[in-house]
Chains A and B, each alone.
Chain A
Amino acid sequence: GAVVSQHPSRVICKSGTSVKIECRSLDFQATTMFWYRQFPKKSLMLMATSNEGSKATYEQGVEKDKFLINHASLTLSTLTVTSAHPEDSSFYICSARDLGQGAGNTIYFGEGSWLTVV
C-alpha cells in the first residue's frame, strides 16, 4: 500500500481561487518532503523542498508567494496554489525520503494531484 498519501487526487478550481494539496507520510516521519510539478509529456520539475518546522527552499523561478508550502508536522506537508491561473494547471506530486533504520533512504512518491484551473 501507499506510504505517501496525497490529497486530493484531482481538483478543478476557478481562476483566482486558492487550492491546497496535502502530502502525508503514512508509515514514517519525514523531516523533508519535495514538491514537483509535471506538465504533459514533460519531466518532473522540482519546485521546492519542504522542511519540517522551517521555511521551504524554493527552486529558481518558483514564486514562493504563489506556491505556499507548510510543513507543520513530521508527517504532513501542504502546498497551496494561491490565486490560481489556467497556466498553473498541472500534475503536482510530492515525495518523501524514509530515513528510518533499515529503510535505505528510500524515496516514496505520493499519487499526485491533477489541478485544472478554469
Chain B
Amino acid sequence: RKEVEQDPGPFNVPEGATVAFNCTYSNSASQSFFWYRQDCRKEPKLLMSVYSSGNEDGRFTAQLNRASQYISLLIRDSKLSDSATYLCAVKGTGRRALTFGSGTRLQVQP
C-alpha cells in the first residue's frame, strides 16, 4: 500500500461548482499535512496546511480525519484558474521530508 494515496481524477467540473478531494495516508503517526497545487510543468506551491480542527482559506477548506487517516480539500465556487493538479503531502514522525500523493487533476470548464 502506498504511503499517501489520491484519486488521480481528472475531475471535470463546471465553473461555480463545488468539488472535494480526499487523500488517505497509511502511517498513523504522521504529524503534518498539507495541500499543494501544481500547475503543468511547474513546481508545487503550498495551498494550505491542514490542521486538526479543520481550516478555511477563502474558497478552500481543508479537513483532517485522524481516525480514518484521511485529509480532504473542498473548493467552492470553482474558477477556471483553479484548474491544476492538487497534491496532498504528509510529514511523518522522525522524517523531515514530505511524502506526496500522486495528485488529483482538476479541470474547471466554462
Contacts and interface: CB of A to CB of B under 8 A. Distances in A.
A115 interface: no
Given A43-B87, A43-B103, A44-B87, A111 B42 contact: yes
A44 B97 CA distance: 11
A49 B96 contact: yes
B102 interface: yes
Contacts of A112: 42-43
B103 A109 contact: no
Contacts of A110: 43
A88 B43 CA distance: 18
Nearest to B103: A43
Contacts of A34: 96-98
A91 B45 contact: no
A109 B45 contact: yes
B101 to A, nearest CB: 6
Contacts of A107: 46, 98
B36 to A, nearest CB: 8
A3 to B, nearest CB: 12
Interface in A97-118: 97, 106-107, 109-112, 114
Interface of A: 32, 34, 36, 41-46, 49, 91, 93, 95, 97, 106-107, 109-112, 114
